[in-house]
Amino acid sequence: MELRAAGFMEGLAEFNDINTAAANVVSGEALIVSRNSILIMEGISVVTLLVGIALAFVLSLSIAKPLRQAINNINEGAVQIEAVSGQGVR
């Protein structure tokens, strides 16, 4: 009976070693996948930030240009009115 128990304990120890080795392999693979995922997310974040900055710049230009033109038109109209009415800028 003791011989069977010793064989069982030996088999259990061997199974434990195999299980630990497999767990270490899977853990290493999971760590690699995790690091790759983090790098991909960082890259996507940087690209998204750059696209956002570019869109903000384009949007600000599309708003500022018509406003600048409107201000210039108003100033030209004011100068023409002053010239027609004979009043100079004081």
Per-residue pLDDT of 28-59, as tens digits, reads: 999 999 999 999 999 999 999 999 999 999 99
Q: Residue 90 above 80 pLDDT?
A: no
* Average pLDDT for 70-81: 83
Please name the residues in contact with 88: beta carbons below 8 A apart, sequence gap of 6 or more: 82
Contact 88, 82 (CB under 8 A): yes
pLDDT of residue 87: 63
Given a contact cutoff of 8 angstroms between Cβ atoms, the answer to whether 49 and 55 are in contact is no
pTM, to two decimals: 0.58
Query: What's the confidence (pLDDT) of residue 4?
Result: 81
Rounded Cα–Cα distance for residues 37 and 33 (Å): 6
Residues 65-89, mean pLDDT to the nearest whole number:
80
Q: Coil, helix or strand for 1? A: coil
